[in-house]
Homo-oligomer: A and B are copies of this chain.
Amino acid sequence: MLKQDDHKHHISERFNAELESIKNHLLEMGGKVERQLNAAVAALVAGDTGEAEEIINRDHEVNQMEIRIDDECSTIIARRQPTASDLRLVMTVIKVNTDIERIGDEAAKIARQGIRLAEESASPTNFVEIRHIGSHVESMLRKALDAFARLDLDLAVEVVKEDTGVDKEYGSALRSLVTFMMEDPRDIGAILNEMWALRSLERIGDHAANIAEHVIYLVRGQDVRHQKSIQEFIDKVGER
């Protein structure tokens, strides 16, 4: 009997180690994508096309990580038959994995716009909007990953709330870029490229908020994604 218990014990230890390893791989990928994003914004602002090229080349590493994590999730489902909170963790990893990979895609797109912008004539905006929204979504992504690592509900709620702010900033950035276009139509080409980079940043904000919502689901053990009351829930947590 003891032997069998030992055996079970070993299996559950191995199972926990596997779950832990998936979580760590996801966070590793998150860290890589964070660096890609920060580097892409910096390269765009500095007009550093060499660095931008490297960011684009590194995107396939992120893609490989996504495939590997999905494979690990499949393997753990097939072999360990997770249930309840273990299964919820695996489901969350599958979803967050997609969001992180898409953030990587957007970072590569920002690097691509950086190369185009470096080739154009100087823009009159001094990249104020990109730097501003860039640092905002960088911080959202960092917080969303921290919230996942520590299963921190409050932090996750904070990220979801911040996304509304980013959307508003994006709206006023667009308006201000249009004003620049009208002042000197020769800048339209450059400014359109900035608009594309902004769009990528705004989309990264959406993905960070998605990650945070998945964390809320994981921690609360129920689906809060679309409760009519998600805003109420967020407001309540915010008031604590």
CB A51 to nearest CB in B, in angstroms, measures 22
Q: Which of A191-228 contact B (CB under 8 A)?
A: 192, 195, 199, 203, 223, 225-226, 228
Interface residues on A, range: 35 or more
> In the complex the two chains form, what is the Cα distance from A178 to B77 in whole Å?
51
Query: C-beta contact mask, A55-96 vs B, less than 8 Å → 1, else 0?
Result: 000001001101100110110011001111001100100110
Is A185's beta carbon under 8 Å from chain B?
yes
> In the complex the two chains form, what is the Cα distance from A174 to B191 in whole Å?
12
Is A182's beta carbon under 8 Å from chain B?
yes
**A178 in complex: contacting residue of B66, B71, B181, CB < 8 Å:** B181
User: Which residues on B sit within 8 Å (CB–CB) of A234?
Assistant: none
User: Which residues on B sit within 8 Å (CB–CB) of A84?
Assistant: 78
**B67→A225 contact, CB < 8 A:** yes
User: Which residues on B sit within 8 Å (CB–CB) of A188?
Assistant: 175, 178
Query: C-beta contact mask, A152-167 vs B, less than 8 Å → 1, else 0?
Result: 0000000000000000
Query: CB-nearest residue of chain B relative to A175?
Result: B192
CB A78 to nearest CB in B, in angstroms, measures 4
User: Which residues on B sit within 8 Å (CB–CB) of A123?
Assistant: none
Query: CB-nearest residue of chain B relative to A59?
Result: B226
Query: CB-nearest residue of chain B relative to A94?
Result: B94
User: Which residues on B sit within 8 Å (CB–CB) of A81?
Assistant: 77-78, 81
User: Which residues on B sit within 8 Å (CB–CB) of A181?
Assistant: 178, 181-182
A positions within 8 Å CB-CB of B = 60, 63-64, 66-67, 70-71, 73-74, 77-78, 81-84, 87-88, 91, 94-95, 98, 171, 174-175, 178, 181-182, 185, 188, 192, 195, 199, 203, 223, 225-226, 228
13 more A-B contacts (CB under 8 A) besides A77-B87, A78-B87? A60-B228, A63-B225, A67-B223, A70-B91, A78-B81, A78-B83, A94-B95, A98-B98, A174-B192, A175-B188, A178-B181, A178-B188, A181-B181
A-B contact pairs, 8 of them (CB 8 A): A66-B225, A77-B77, A78-B82, A78-B84, A175-B188, A178-B178, A181-B182, A182-B182
